[in-house]
Amino acid sequence: MSLKRLIVWSIIATGITSVTTQLLTIREFLSQFHGNEITISLVLFCWLLLTGLGSLLAKPVKRPSLILYGLLMLVIGLWPLMQMILIRGFREALFTHGASPGFYSILFYIVSMIGPYCVLVGFVLPYSLKVLHEAHYAFTSGDLYLSDSIGDITGGVLFSFILVYLVTPFVAIALTSFLVILIGLLLLARQGRFGLVAASLILSGLFFYYSTNGAFERSTLSSQYGNIVRYQESPYGRIVITREGAQHTFWETGVPLYSDANVISSEEKVHYALCQLDRVDSVLLVSGGLGKTIDEVAKYHPRHVDYVELDPGLTSAALDLGVIKERPFLRIINTDGRRYIKNTQEKYDAVIVDLPDPDTFQVNRFFTSEFFSLVKKVLRKGGILAMGMEYSPNYISEIRRKKLSTLFNTARLHFRQVLILPGGEAYFLCRDGKLSPRIPLRLRLKSIKTSYIEGFFQGNVTEERITELNRILDPNEYINTDFEPRLMNIVFQEWFLKHGTSPNYFLAVWIAITLIYIMFMRREEYVLFSTGLATMGVEMLIIFTFQVVYGYIYLKVGAIVTAFLLGLLPGAVAGKIWGGRALRRLFVSEMLILCMLFLFYAWIVYWRIELSPGTFLIYCLLFSFFCGFQFPVAAEVIGERNSPAAGLLAADLYGASVGTVATGTILIPMWGIQFAIIFLMSVKILSSMVIIMKK
């Protein structure tokens, strides 16, 4: 194989392993930090920013070395396994076990864990072009972009449609790193560095041994979870079951879902709601069906109970371990709870939602006006909806007051009666009929025995606490909706207050660095900067919107990222072969990007019809096509003699990092999706004006 072909394959191989590592890293941080869409945006922000920094570091290099390039290939192939081990190992060493770290702690941890790899990948791409030019091979910046895109797309497709369903993270790393490790060895052997080859073979052997060793991979999770009884990587999340003494705990994506010892939660979420009904014929459980929950529901002798849980791996493990027992009246349905409610023809006496506070779009969509409207359609006359929210009975902060008020006001739009009971959580009972706070009396009338409520209810759910809860509710608080997630906004404010921090310092430094960087850019680089910003901004919009509509972004984040990558390649090819004036082509692509943004805005504001997953992916592909079109055209405007690759790559990547954090971390959670789209449109209008001024 010729040297040129070997280096081109190394660029493709780097794309394959880097995209797979990126997607695995996102999923890993989601598990480590009980993550939400903010975690996704922070990881992508840091990844893109650090990769762009690596590209800038390659800019001043004058005399590239083929031996160094071969060694860099080996490091790129071997490091992802070490990165994953470090992420898992240092999580417990640096942070209090079981605690949720603050914004800056998570940000700095992400930077320190992924920094070396991202800088290296960013450095290698323009460095490979310099190696080819040093060897007098004809290869342009557009060719580099095309080759890298081929690798990125291949890695995204492999992971999103094959590896995520079949293998664990460590095995996925081994499979996708094989090619880049092989090419690194061949490059060193070609230069006659057999000592380095021998040492590299030993390291590679250790790499493949540990990455394919299931027991070793499981052991890397022990510091976080303890004594692991069962470990399974599901497409929807990481399922871990631990045991401490006789007690089992179920974890999904780092969040404890169920514990044998938590009898209180099972009794409160079931009996507060069901004792209000004269007769219980059918019940719908949205999550929370593990352990004693079904036993408590069974005391009402229902004709049938439907338990909806998204992840089949979770319910399968629970059945195997006897945490869920098969019963004649029980039907387990593995699908998204909200979509089931929307599409089912069944009618229920009670719908019990057992989910954590809405700190993600996936969970928030079960606390919105749109969700309550859907629930009303599946409830029988006089039916009841029950859900809980975190609550401290001894002190209600201003943030907690806003959260409870928002949910209360949203529920009251659809139910004539909303009763809040101050138990272990603040339990919301929503019904068009009568509601009574006298739970023990109603249970005695039905001859239903309980362990906790019977003995402790009167001491915890007092008249004073119920009165205080109703007194602090503010009727003027906002309504929580799918696309204006007011509860998420409040939960994030609560998160920052809990840790005594504010994102303002981060934002001030970030904006200052961005403005300084823009001041020293070429105009063509600014166009690429704005396009990278728009691309990742739209990617975050799609991720958030998809979460609202379908609710399983942990599974589909890879498919969305891949769809964006897939459009870049044909776009770059079109930009390279389409003739005519470069500035005119650049301006046309700007107008098309603006049209795509306006189309998204029109759908959010005016249409809001439900789109299929395929429609989302097609939109991603088309949008990224016009963005990919711009890279070779901008390089043509600058001219190859001016070595545009490093500057354009850095601008594109830094812009992408800005778009990620601006939309995913700030605009959408704080002001909603509509405001975020307006921001992206404004940025592209400004870059269009820059092209007009240059022309």
Average pLDDT of the chain? 85
| Rounded Cα–Cα distance for residues 668 and 539 (Å) | 12
Q: Helices (H) and strands (E) in the chain — how many of each?
A: 29, 11
Using CA atoms, how far apart are residues 104 and 501, in angstroms rounded to an integer?
A: 8
pLDDT at residue number 646: 66
Which has more confidence, 174 or 321? Answer: 174
- How far is CA 590 from each of CA 387, 488, 584, 587, 637, rounded to the nearest angstrom? 47, 33, 10, 5, 15
Q: How far apart are CA 597 and CA 574, in angstroms?
A: 21
**Share of residues in the chain with pLDDT > 90 (%):** 32
- pLDDT higher than 90, residue 30: no
The C-alpha atoms of residue 592 and residue 594 are separated, in whole angstroms, by 5
Q: What are phi and psi for residue 427, nearest 5 degrees? A: -90, 125
pLDDT at 245 over 80: no
∠ CA(428), CA(432), CA(434), 5° rounding?
80
Instruction: For residue 204, give the nearest of 169, 180, 172 by alpha carbon.
Output: 180
Contact 485, 364 (CB under 8 A): yes
Query: Counting beta carbons within 10 angstroms of the beta carbon of residue 695, is it exposed (0 to 12), middle (13 to 18) or buried (19 or more)?
Result: exposed
**Mean local confidence (pLDDT), 87-102:** 75
Q: Is the dihedral of CA 332, 335, 340, 343 positive or negative?
A: negative
User: What is the predicted pLDDT for the residue at 362?
Assistant: 78
Task: Spell 449-482 as b/e; 16+ CB within 10 A means b.
Answer: ebebbbeebeebbeeebeeebeeebeeebbebbb
pLDDT in tens, 604-646: 887 767 777 778 888 988 998 988 888 788 877 777 666 566 6
- In angstroms, how far apart are the furthest CA atoms of the chain? 90
Torsion (CA) 209, 210, 216, 220 in degrees, nearest 10: 180
Residue 522: predicted pLDDT: 80
Report which listed range, 57-66, 252-261, 285-294, 363-372, is most confident: 363-372
pLDDT class for 385, splitting at 50, 70, 90? very high
Where residue 261 falls among pLDDT bands split at 50, 70, 90?
Answer: low
pLDDT exceeds cutoff 80 at 217: yes
Q: Is the pLDDT score of 510 beyond 80?
A: yes
The distance of Cα 266 from the centroid of its chain, to the nearest Å, equals 29
Structural domains of the chain in order of their starting residue, each with its CATH number: 1-218 (1.20.1250), 222-252 (no CATH), 260-477 (3.40.50.150), 503-695 (1.20.1250)
Within 149-236, strands assigned E span 228-234
7 vs 507, which has greater pLDDT?
7
Q: What is the DSSP letter of 332?
A: E
Which two tokens mark 388?
């809980």
The pLDDT of residue 495 is 74
Average pLDDT on 335-364 reads 88
Tokens coding 692? 């007009």
> Phi, psi (5° rounding) for residue 435?
-130, 135
Q: List pLDDT tens digits, range 529-578.
A: 898 899 888 888 887 787 777 765 555 666 777 788 788 888 888 887 87
Say if residues 140 and 640 touch (Cβ distance below 8 Å): yes
Mean pLDDT value across residues 471-490: 86
- Confidence class for position 1, pLDDT limits 50, 70, 90: low
C-beta of residue 87 within 8 angstroms of C-beta of residue 113:
yes
| Distance of alpha carbon 406 from alpha carbon 285, whole angstroms | 23
How much is the average pLDDT of 392-419? 89
pLDDT at 242 over 90: no
Instruction: State the pLDDT confidence band at 97, using cuts at 50, 70 and 90.
Output: low
- Reading the block at residue 666, the tokens are 């700030």
What are the DSSP calls for 575-616, one per residue?
A: HHH--S-HHHHHHHHHHHHHHHHHHHHHIIIII-PPPPHHHH
**This prediction's pTM:** 0.80
Pairing verdict, β 304-308 and 247-252 = unpaired
- Per-residue pLDDT, averaged over 512-539, amounts to 86
What is the pLDDT confidence band of residue 284, given thresholds at 50, 70 and 90? very high
**Looking at 24-28, 217-221, 498-502, 568-572, which range is the least confident one?**
498-502
Mean pLDDT of 251-268: 74
Instruction: Determine the 3-state secondary structure of 257 from DSSP.
Output: strand
| Single-letter residue type at 518 | I
Give the single-character DSSP code of 670. H
Please tell me which residue, 401 or 507, carries the higher pLDDT value: 401
